Amino acid sequence: MEILKVEDLRFAYPGEKTDTLDKISFSVDAGEFICLCGPTGCGKSTLLRLLKKELQPRGDIRGRILFNDKDISEDEYDTSSAIGFVMQSPDEQIVTDTVWHELAFGLENIGMKREKIALKIAEIASYFGISSWYDKKVSELSGGQKQILNLAAVMVMSPDVLILDEPTSQLDPIAASDFIATVKKLNREFSLTVIITEHRLEDVIPISDRVMVLKQGEILCFGDPDDVVSKIRETSDLISAMPSAVQLYHAVGGKGKCPLDVRDGRNFIEKNFLPSSVSLPTDKYIHADDVALEMNKVFFRYSKQMPDVLDLMSLKVYSGETYFILGSNGSGKTTALGIASGIYTPYSGKVKVFGKNVRDYKNNSLYKNCLAYLPQDVETVFLENTVGEELKDAMEEARELPFDVDRLLSKHPYDLSGGEKQLVALAKVLSQKPQILLLDEPTKGIDAASKRRLAEIIKALKNRGITVVAVTHDVDFAAMTADRCGMFFRGRIVSENTTREFFSDNDFYTTAVNRMTRDYYSMAVTVSDCAELCMKNIREEGTVK
């Protein structure tokens, strides 16, 4: 049964001549799981918001949007509970201070009776397994828990359609998979219609019924996932957001059915390529003699009563090296970076930057021509009302970065996209002319294209001799970028190695490509590694020639 139908929808923001959305027509059946993808700025978010009456942006809307065969623009048609909407940021979507109040909020708004609200909350809390949070303050929850709460607070209104606008982009991979799994469960168990956009499509594409690709405000294609992903060959911007199996399929010029997840990807490889024990030739690891950043047996805790966050942490990063610290959320990675950058002082142990104790850098000399730090929340860098003012002393750096900064100069920093915001902040930080750059979770909240661009920037910085130390839980990004990686667990680095060895040694904490090629090829970590190996071992009877 058709639940949502969009007929010849066009939309233009006020004061803009070109339409952001053009001739959009499609329909969605009840119970479908639809994934909407496309490069940043293609109009995904605008389209999603147009479907939700209360969130429609101001501007010129033409065409019709029918929900259950009724035009949603009719004044008396209230779809606030029938269409649920979950947004990106876990923190800002929460309205009230306690979990119970947050769950009740929507039901209060639609004027539901108290007894009924109590019942609904009991149901939803039990279903989501969050009864034990009931009395908690929302500030005590983790990012993933907050997002689950946001989902529950929308689901409590029993919507027919659930719209999710990049719901996991601020979460770590574990929390993101949990979240997507919950959405899938809702879709399967209640035949809830789901329309979702995501930066990371690894988990989403395989469970979607249909995929829609938008490009410059138009529908490029809309159909079965394996069909759609095999069509988007030419637009490489989209490819990098796809699951690794899809990327591999395109990289080796695959034909026929496109694999979507690791299992299919493995089958695809086995069917088309021969196993091999010969690994790719690797450059021997050589490092400079001088140590850029050294942490020696560092202990740290935030207050006397709290447990140690860093516990015998030692680390040596050589000059000119790109070093990634990987680990799960809340393990203390960010704190480690805070110690390295002199924000916090350890209670025991030594931290040296270029051989000199961090404490001996007086009067900010550490932050001039020496060390710079790009935080996870890049908004903390911005002070001014326009990008131009923000970059007053950093224009030189900004022009070196691969983006069109002039177009942005008159904009407010908060009006930029995630990727642009990050580049502006990076330019500003680089104007300190650092020899060491510290990056905290640099891929959080940015799309695949920006990620790729960031990887190139880091490589360019390396070529200029700048040492880069980053913490992340994005294994694909680390595999693409790092010279060496360290695994951070319980307050210290438990293992470290050059990137390729590091990921091939890990069984669980590794890239999808590595999991796909386990015991088939050795040391294939990135899509390009694997493609290269595949092309050397083509199976005669396979479809790839």
Partner 1 sequence: MIVINNSGLRRVLRITVPFVIIPLTVFLGTFIVPQKSYLFVSFAVTVMALILFISGFDRKKTGSRRLVISSVMTALCIIGRFIPVFKPITALTVITGIHIGGESGFLVGALAALISNFFSGQGPWTPFQMLAWGLIGLFAGLLSPFLKRSRWIIVAYGTVTGMIFSLIMDVWTVLWGGGFSAELYLAAVVAAIPHTVVYSLSNMIFLIILSKPFGEKLERIKLKYGV
Partner 2 sequence: MRTFKDSNPIAVTLYFLFVTGITMFLFDPILNGISFLGALIFSLVCGDGRDNKKHLLCLVLFVATALINPLVSHNGVTVLFFINDNPITLESLLYGCSNAFMLVSVLYWFSCFSCLMDSDKLLYVFGSFSPKAALVFSMALRYIPLFGDRSKKIRATQKTMGLYKDGNILDMIRGRVREFSIMTTWALEKGIITADSMSARGYGQGRRTRFTNFRFYLCDVILLILSSVLAVFVIMSAVKHDFVFYPAIVAPKMSLISVIGYVSYGVLVLIPTINEWKEEIRWRYLRSKI
CB nearer to partner 1: pick between 385 and 543: 385
Residue 405 identity (one-letter amino acid): V
Dist. CA 377–CA 334, nearest whole Å = 12
CB nearer to partner 1: pick between 105 and 127: 105
Q: Which of 391, 459, 466 is nearest to 429 (CA)?
A: 391
List interacting residues with partner 2 (CB under 8 A).
52, 54-55, 78, 80-81, 84-85, 87, 89, 91-98, 100-101, 104-114, 117-118, 121, 137-139, 150, 153-154, 157, 338, 341-343, 362-364, 367-368, 371-373, 375-377, 379-383, 414, 428-429, 432
**Interface of this chain with partner 1, residues 390 to 429, rule: CB under 8 A:** 412
* Minimum separation from the CB atom of position 95 to partner 1 (A): 9
| DSSP annotation string for 322-372 | EEEEE--TTSSHHHHHHHHTTSS--SEEEEEETTEEGGG--TTGGGTTTEE
Q: Which of 174, 251, 178, 241 is nearest to 36 (CA)?
A: 241
Task: Give the Å distances, CA to CA, from 146 to 91, 115, 141, 235, 446.
Answer: 7, 25, 6, 35, 20
* Minimum separation from the CB atom of position 403 to partner 1 (A): 23
* Minimum separation from the CB atom of position 381 to partner 2 (A): 6
Picked from partner 2, partner 1, none, the partner binding residue 110 (CB below 5 to 8 A depending on kind) is partner 2
* Minimum separation from the CB atom of position 219 to partner 2 (A): 25
CB nearer to partner 1: pick between 11 and 503: 11
Picked from partner 1, partner 2, none, the partner binding residue 300 (CB below 5 to 8 A depending on kind) is none
CB 500 within 8 A of CB 525: yes
Q: What angle do CA 169, 53, 62 make, to 5 degrees?
A: 105
**Interface of this chain with partner 1, residues 365 to 394, rule: CB under 8 A:** 385
Picked from partner 2, partner 1, none, the partner binding residue 230 (CB below 5 to 8 A depending on kind) is none
**CB count in 10 Å sphere of residue 161:** 23
Dist. CA 317–CA 322, nearest whole Å = 8
Q: Which of 500, 473, 474, 499 is nearest to 488 (CA)?
A: 473
* Minimum separation from the CB atom of position 58 to partner 1 (A): 7
Picked from partner 1, partner 2, none, the partner binding residue 58 (CB below 5 to 8 A depending on kind) is partner 1
* Minimum separation from the CB atom of position 420 to partner 1 (A): 17
Identify the residue whose tokens are 């005590």: 140
Cβ neighbors of 296 (< 8 A, separation 6 or more) are 314, 349, 350, 351, 352
| DSSP annotation string for 25-88 | EEEEETT-EEEEE--TTSSHHHHHHHHSGGGPPSSEEEEEEEETTEETTSTT---TTTEEEE-S
Which structure tokens are listed for 542?
């396979």
CB 3 within 8 A of CB 161: yes
**CB count in 10 Å sphere of residue 64:** 14
* Minimum separation from the CB atom of position 109 to partner 2 (A): 4
CB nearer to partner 1: pick between 382 and 477: 382
CB nearer to partner 1: pick between 185 and 412: 412
H-only helix segments in 223-329: 225-231, 236-239, 244-251, 262-272
For residues 51 to 90, the per-residue mask of contacts with partner 1, x marking binding by CB under 8 A and - elsewhere, is -------x--------------------------------
Residues in the chain: 545
* Minimum separation from the CB atom of position 114 to partner 1 (A): 8
* Minimum separation from the CB atom of position 46 to partner 1 (A): 16
* Minimum separation from the CB atom of position 380 to partner 1 (A): 15
Picked from partner 2, partner 1, none, the partner binding residue 117 (CB below 5 to 8 A depending on kind) is partner 2
Kind plus residue range of the DSSP H or E element containing 213: strand 210-215
CB nearer to partner 2: pick between 8 and 54: 54
HSE (side-chain half, CA atoms, 13 Å) at 250: 22
CB nearer to partner 2: pick between 17 and 362: 362
Picked from partner 2, partner 1, none, the partner binding residue 11 (CB below 5 to 8 A depending on kind) is none
* Minimum separation from the CB atom of position 374 to partner 2 (A): 9
CB nearer to partner 2: pick between 228 and 378: 378
113 belongs to the binding site for partner 1 (CB under 8 A): no
CB nearer to partner 1: pick between 8 and 377: 377
CB nearer to partner 2: pick between 197 and 341: 341
Picked from partner 1, partner 2, none, the partner binding residue 364 (CB below 5 to 8 A depending on kind) is partner 2
For partner 1, the binding residues (CB under 8 A) are 58, 385, 412
